[in-house]
Amino acid sequence: MHTPKQDKFLEDLDVHSILGQDEEANIDRNLPMRKWLYSWLLDPNIPGNFQKELDKWISYLIIGNLFSLMFEHVPAVYEPYRTWFELFDIFSVAVFTIEYALRLYLAPEDEEFKNRKNARFSFVTSPFAIIDFLAVAPFYLKAFIPIDLRVLRFLRLLRILKLFRVLIPAIAEFQELNKGRTFRQKVHALVFPSNYGGTMQHIFEVFIGVWVILSVMAVILESVKSINYVLHLQFVILDAVAVAIFTVEYFMRMYACVEEPGYKGAFLGRFKQAKNPSTFIDFLAILPFFLEVFLHHLIDLRFLRVFRLARLLKLTRGSDATAVLVKVVVREWPVMGAATFIMMLLLVLTASLGYLFEYDAQPEKFENIPTSIYWAVITLASVGYGDISPVTPMGRAMTSVLALLGIGIFAIPAALLASAFSDELVKERDQLKANLFAILKDGHISESEAAIIRAEAKRLHLTVEEVNKLIEVVIKEHELEERNPLPIHKIAENPALAVEHYKVLLGQIRQLGVQVDATQFDQAAQQGERLTANEFALWQKIQGKA
């Protein structure tokens, strides 16, 4: 049965903290205004306040300013939208000024400055405050001092230094987590998910993801001649920088992969990593650039530029949905293969009949069976472009039948995948429930067990409410298990469990002997031979009377 300690633990179970999700901050409304504002907006030690969100949106605005500054160097982009660029700059300066003034006002509450003689002066002279000041100073200076536009743009570029407010704490955390570890282990912690990566590993993943999106957008926009004419140089520079970043990332992964379990060995481990699908995608992301650079004088390789779109596949590295899709397709492939075979058989058959019925009437459209296969595909898929259509009665009748069959034929693989996806999610949740069952059995959740729950909940995209429901189900199953012990045939499957069960039964028999009236029991046992002589002798022996 549940012990009082277990019951208390289950009542106080904080799923939010287990999943690493902050609840709304519990901040006293009666605090002084300055302390209250600092607690909500800037205190990094209060979970659930707006400090992380504020830093995140300020970072987005800084990156937006960087792009704005880059496009200001392109007259064809800047001149038509000069007003919008100026309004964005005014908005950015207003936000940065409010942030600076807020930090200055709240400096006496900051742990770093509160114990100093003059907290606000200490804040103003701190490195972060100087960076914040430089981010807005050029805007106000140009109102009083004539500044060359190029100098002004350079000074505005200093706004990117504000990102160090996010980066420096992350770097400090990374150094603390990796204290005493080798250089290769540190590289591994940065590029591979692990307990040593911390916030820095997350920033690295976001950085790579942003560059993937930027490079793919550049490839797409390059195909628009009017845009490419204006931004050709910027596209070339951006592609070169993107390739440099992806190349460094690729070699970092190849260098540090031997720290991963299952990839040991200087050569074999790296060769195995190189064959990994995600690493192969990383290789394809940079290959077209180097082939075009080194082999352009031998062969025209401009067609390879379109393969730069393969960089988009890099975003699937951290996607659990991709892994589930691959697992589902592999598991259902025999059935899907059969459906595909039937589909191909139907296509060839109907294309051949279409050629037979329509060739005499439309030799220019149904000139051969391969052309008829194209007609059969668009008909079976219910697309019906209309560029090829039958005119004979038999051809039209067959098209009608084919269109109706297409609804079912194409629906089979889709239904199979949808059903398999649903089954896979049910299996994954059942596995999480089994893990929770084992974890909660002792009435305690260790840090490693919490990490398992957190990782599984993140992978399955479960909300706090869904995890709570799973835990409730597990608790009920625990209670049922304790009320209804395992059947004998299940106990017999495990010899160690059978021995323990035997000891429990012996203990219960001894308790029965202590609590029952011995004389009356002996009379009842011998009356009508309810117990055989051997059974009664065994009873006597267990009770120590033999």
**Does the structure show a pLDDT above 70 at 511?**
yes
Summarize pLDDT for 253-290 with one digit per residue, the tens: 999 999 988 888 888 889 998 888 888 888 888 888 88
Percent of the chain with pLDDT over 90: 8
Query: Two tokens at 292?
Result: 């075009």
What DSSP character marks residue 518?
Answer: H
End-to-end CA distance of the chain: 35
Answer yes or no: are the C-beta atoms of 421 and 336 closer than 8 Å.
no
Same domain for 276 and 327, yes or no, is no
Query: What average pLDDT does the segment 145-174 reach?
Result: 74
Summarize pLDDT for 328-363 with one digit per residue, the tens: 778 878 877 887 888 888 888 888 888 888 888 888
Domain count, the chain: 4
Higher pLDDT, 165 or 191: 191
What span, in angstroms and rounded, lies between the C-alpha atoms of 417 and 411? 10
**Does the structure show a pLDDT above 90 at 190?**
yes
Task: Tell me whether residue 2 is in a domain.
Answer: no
What span, in angstroms and rounded, lies between the C-alpha atoms of 315 and 312? 6
Band of residue 188 on the pLDDT scale cut at 50, 70, 90: very high
Higher pLDDT, 410 or 522: 522
Task: Tell me whether residue 266 is in a domain.
Answer: yes
Same domain for 411 and 463, yes or no, is yes
**Does the structure show a pLDDT above 70 at 532?**
yes
CB neighbour list of residue 162: distance below 8 Å, 6 or more residues apart: 58, 59, 62, 96, 131, 132, 135
- Average pLDDT of every residue of the chain: 79
What span, in angstroms and rounded, lies between the C-alpha atoms of 328 and 421? 6
Q: Angle 318-322-326 (CA atoms, 0-180°, nearest 5)? A: 135
Answer yes or no: are the C-beta atoms of 372 and 355 closer than 8 Å.
yes
Q: Which domain holds residue 237?
A: 179-318
CATH code of the domain covering residue 208: 1.20.120.350
Same domain for 470 and 398, yes or no, is yes
Same domain for 323 and 386, yes or no, is yes
Higher pLDDT, 480 or 467: 467
Band of residue 11 on the pLDDT scale cut at 50, 70, 90: very low
* Amino acid 302: pLDDT: 61
Same domain for 133 and 211, yes or no, is no
**Does the structure show a pLDDT above 90 at 492?**
no
What span, in angstroms and rounded, lies between the C-alpha atoms of 500 and 503? 5
**Does the structure show a pLDDT above 50 at 1?**
no
Query: What average pLDDT does the segment 485-509 reach?
Result: 77
* Amino acid 440: pLDDT: 66
CATH code of the domain covering residue 388: 1.10.287.70
* Amino acid 98: pLDDT: 92
- Domain end call among 141, 162, 177: 177
Task: Tell me whether residue 379 is in a domain.
Answer: yes
Band of residue 2 on the pLDDT scale cut at 50, 70, 90: very low
Answer yes or no: are the C-beta atoms of 415 and 398 closer than 8 Å.
no
Task: Tell me whether residue 310 is in a domain.
Answer: yes
Task: Tell me whether residue 6 is in a domain.
Answer: no
Query: What average pLDDT does the segment 304-308 reach?
Result: 68
Query: What average pLDDT does the segment 372-399 reach?
Result: 79
What DSSP character marks residue 316?
Answer: G
- Domain end call among 318, 340, 358: 318
Q: Angle 368-373-378 (CA atoms, 0-180°, nearest 5)? A: 135
Same domain for 145 and 226, yes or no, is no
Same domain for 43 and 70, yes or no, is yes
- Nearest to 193, CA basis, from 281, 317, 314: 317
| Phi–psi pair at 197, nearest 5 degrees | -80, -45
CB neighbour list of residue 156: distance below 8 Å, 6 or more residues apart: 65, 69, 89, 138, 139
What span, in angstroms and rounded, lies between the C-alpha atoms of 281 and 317? 9
Distances (CA, A) of 389 to 43, 165, 376, 456: 70, 65, 10, 53
Query: Two tokens at 421?
Result: 């996806």
Answer yes or no: are the C-beta atoms of 393 and 296 closer than 8 Å.
no
What span, in angstroms and rounded, lies between the C-alpha atoms of 443 and 439? 8
Answer yes or no: are the C-beta atoms of 19 and 467 closer than 8 Å.
yes
Same domain for 513 and 384, yes or no, is no
Same domain for 186 and 148, yes or no, is no
Task: Tell me whether residue 10 is in a domain.
Answer: no
Task: Tell me whether residue 8 is in a domain.
Answer: no
* Amino acid 319: pLDDT: 65
Query: What average pLDDT does the segment 324-328 reach?
Result: 77
* Amino acid 187: pLDDT: 94
Same domain for 191 and 259, yes or no, is yes
String of DSSP letters for 317-385: TT-HHHHHHHHHHHHHHHHHHHHHHHHHHHHHHHHHHHHHHHTTT-TTTS-SHHHHHHHHHHHHTT---
Task: Tell me whether residue 4 is in a domain.
Answer: no
* Amino acid 58: pLDDT: 87
Summarize pLDDT for 224-256 with one digit per residue, the tens: 888 888 888 888 888 889 999 999 999 999 999
Same domain for 474 and 363, yes or no, is yes
- Domain end call among 289, 318, 347: 318
Same domain for 480 and 510, yes or no, is no
